[in-house]
A and B are shown apart, each in its own frame.
Chain A
Amino acid sequence: MQLTGAQALIRSLEQEGVDTIFGLPGGAILPVYDPLLDSSIRHILVRHEQGAGHMAEGYALATGRPGVAMVTSGPGATNIVTPIGNAHMDSTPLVVITGQVATASIGTDAFQECDITGITMGITKHNFLVQSAQEIPRAVAAAFHLATTGRPGPVLIDVPKDVTQSMMDWWYPASIEEYDLPGYRPEIPLDQEAVERAVALIAESERPVLYVGGGTLKSRASQELLAFAERTGMPVVTTLMARGAFPDSHEQHLGMPGMHGMYTAVTAIQKSDLLISLGARFDDRVTGKIPAFAAGAKVIHVDIDKAEFNKVRHADVAIQSNVAAALVAFDAAQATPRNLDVWWKAINDWRDQYPLVYDEPTADGPLRPQHVIEAIAAKAAPGTIVASGVGQHQMWASQHWKFEEPGTWINSGGAGTMGFGVPAAIGAKVGRPERTVWCIDGDGCFQMTAQELTTARSEGIPIKVAILNNAYLGMVRQWQEMFYEERYSEVYLSADLPDYVKWAEAMGCVGLRARTLKEMHEVIDEANTINDVPVVIDFRTDAEEKVFPMVAAGASNDDIIVHPLQRGERR
């Protein structure tokens, strides 16, 4: 069967089970948009290519399936660089298709030419410049294989216009051997000897902590984690990237570690004698000052990517494996620590002494952002998915929302990309339409990608957006207040400009506003009744509110700063 390269591309995506593409057309990708009309694949027309990339990420994080985005060459391609970099940092499986100028024009500075494979070399797991129409099926199959296996990540396929316009004989690779990836071996057999050494370290341990990272979600190891944690009785912490991997309601869960982590999670790590790292990478936002991080702990490091071992922290035992398989092996070997009663006594004391607190809300406002999040959560359907932007509101969302299952927390961790929230929420809703999706956003973040609410409205994607409007780039303001003697430099945004309610309405959404506690409850209830169009709520929150606990950048986790309400009582 003879097909054009464009037809072959769409057909290849169908072969991979793609149901949705997020994208925006232009000259170089035009040929591919024609056969798209005849395909069962849903295309979501974004208003900016960055939105397409973040939507694909939200889709991937909510479903566990790769997200797919398609854009044109030149500026279309450069506009999606931020989401590609974001997905690379967070190991999110994406396949991004970019149009390219015709093969003969490459290198001539042709109209809308740019070297997108060169630009994204350092922020993709791999990328391809497809040389002929006949090669399209192989590139697509290989891209999906690379994006989703081993340590997942973004893969870019750059397709010149003449390649999509020329003819090919349809075929599709029948097996991995045909992908032509001689250097790619994502899984290696589990090193039983290393497992035995890990089991021996666990057996000696009196103060273990399961340090759970995003790799646990990526390897779908939540069930195995629950079984292992419950059998051994060990405490669990989940990083920002792993929220939802272990139920927050579980007695053994100490919450999030790190710069804005729970006092108990941070301190338990510091005092531990054994850290079992499960798909985590000792990020500086978790470790604080590295030499002072869990200084008395031995480390068992489980990761699918061997380059993570000894990169930041020496691993006493390194196990190259997906998290699920390693946990199964630990259980098979009946890995068991010593009696943990004394350890749990210490942990529970920390918990009692330093719970998560915030100032009492006042009836007339301004609203407490933490309280707004808890109020939304209290009224949310079980299984609600939460996306966020980057800043204070993100930390509060991670702290105050209770996550119970994988795929319910959609967040930009490694890159910290402002503007991630709205498009990622849209992508999550497309992937899990039966779920309620809230975006907890900042006023600064919202202004970066809000135009995608037009996309959401026109495509019938009813997400709910809570803007925690503190009139500031709040996280930066917090640093200036605490570390720059309250010298506020370029962080004020204004609560009233733009008018978020009118802006929401202009995009066909319902716009609501709350200043008082009464209004807060009313607008949340109202938002919960609206399920046909997106809702945006402008919550007027206190600009002075800061995120606690906090470990200052570069400080030791021992020097964690607790909430002012808790100061003075510290031992």
Chain B
Amino acid sequence: MSPEPYLGEVSRTPVRHHILSVLVENKAGVLARIAGLFARRGFNIYSLAVAPAESHARFSRVTIVVDAESAPLEQIVGQLDKLVNVVAINDLAPRDAVERELLLATLPLGDEHRSAMLDTITKAGASIVDVGPTSVTVMLAGTPGACDELERALEDFAEVELHRTGRVALPRLG
């Protein structure tokens, strides 16, 4: 049985989300197979992150945050498992997982909001990774909740360009 979905308190993540850490063969078209499956079965993907897995060139790890309201998790896992290129599925309830995400944002540093903005960045624990004549790029690696919060705080300022990676996760140890 899969654990109970977590009722999250953050606004940007679906209320009942679930994390699937999926080990797949590193072959052409695997991502299309996963995306196609979700599309044709009406399962919603909230975020998706892909990278080569561990030290194996043979496998990749796909971390999918699924909306557990769009379909029963058992169905999503069962159908995903039937994809021949899917090697293993680790199904993580948010409360049993350590989740992290990376946020990058470029902010104009006009005089007007300069101090408020720097204040927001410092409070969020973000660091400045690039500096231009009129703007800076900041980075936050943190919980999805922390990224949501920074994103929300930056909404107050104009002309912010913001990208998020989608989360990765590992099982909680204790």
Contact = CB atoms under 8 A, between A and B. Distances in A.
A183 B25 contact: yes
A571 interface: no
Interface string B62-95: 0000000000101100110111111110000000
B32 A182 contact: no
Main secondary structure of the interface of B (DSSP, over half): mixed
Which interface class (under 10, 10 to 19, 20 to 34, 35 or more) fits A? 10 to 19
A184 B72 CA distance: 23
Nearest to A155: B84
B81 to A, nearest CB: 7
A121 B36 contact: yes
A183 B36 contact: no
A118 interface: yes
Interface string A116-129: 01100110011001
Interface residues of B, number: 22
A182 B25 CA distance: 8
Contact of A307 (B25, B40, B78): B78
Contacts of B29: 117-118, 121, 129
B84 A310 contact: no
A305 interface: yes
Contacts of A182: 25, 87
B33 interface: yes
A183 B32 contact: no
B28 A311 contact: no
B75 A310 contact: yes
Given A117-B29, A182-B25, A305 B82 contact: yes
Contact of A129 (B24, B28, B36, B37): B28
Contact of B81 (A125, A307, A309): A307
Given A146-B84, A181-B84, A183-B83, A118 B32 contact: yes
Interface in A102-127: 117-118, 121-122, 125-126
A310 B74 contact: yes
A204 to B, nearest CB: 24
A126 B88 CA distance: 17
A118 B85 CA distance: 15
A121 B24 CA distance: 16
A125 B84 CA distance: 8
Contacts of A146: 84
B79 A307 contact: yes
Given A305-B82, A307-B78, A310-B75, A121 B25 contact: no
Contacts of B86: 183
Interface in A156-193: 181-184
A3 B39 CA distance: 42
B75 A183 contact: no
A126 B84 contact: yes
Interface in A300-324: 305-307, 309-311
B78 A183 contact: no
Interface in B10-51: 24-25, 28-29, 32-33, 36-37, 40
Nearest to A305: B82
Contacts of A307: 75, 78-79, 81-82
A100 to B, nearest CB: 13
A311 B85 CA distance: 22
Q: Find the residue from B28, B74, B78, B84 having the highest chain A CB count within 10 A.
A: B84
Given A146-B84, A307-B82, A121 B75 contact: no
A122 B25 contact: no
A369 to B, nearest CB: 37
B78 A306 contact: yes
A122 B36 contact: yes
B75 A311 contact: yes
B84 A121 contact: no
Nearest to B78: A307
Nearest to B77: A307
B55 to A, nearest CB: 16
A118 B37 CA distance: 12
A384 B160 CA distance: 74
Top 6 A-B residue pairs of the complex, sorted by shortest distance between their CB atoms: A307-B78, A183-B87, A126-B84, A183-B86, A307-B79, A182-B87
5 contacts: A117-B29, A125-B84, A183-B85, A183-B88, A309-B74
Interface of B: 24-25, 28-29, 32-33, 36-37, 40, 72, 74-75, 78-79, 81-88
Given A146-B84, A305-B82, 13 more contacts: A118-B29, A122-B40, A129-B28, A181-B84, A183-B24, A183-B25, A183-B87, A305-B78, A306-B81, A307-B79, A307-B81, A309-B74, A310-B74
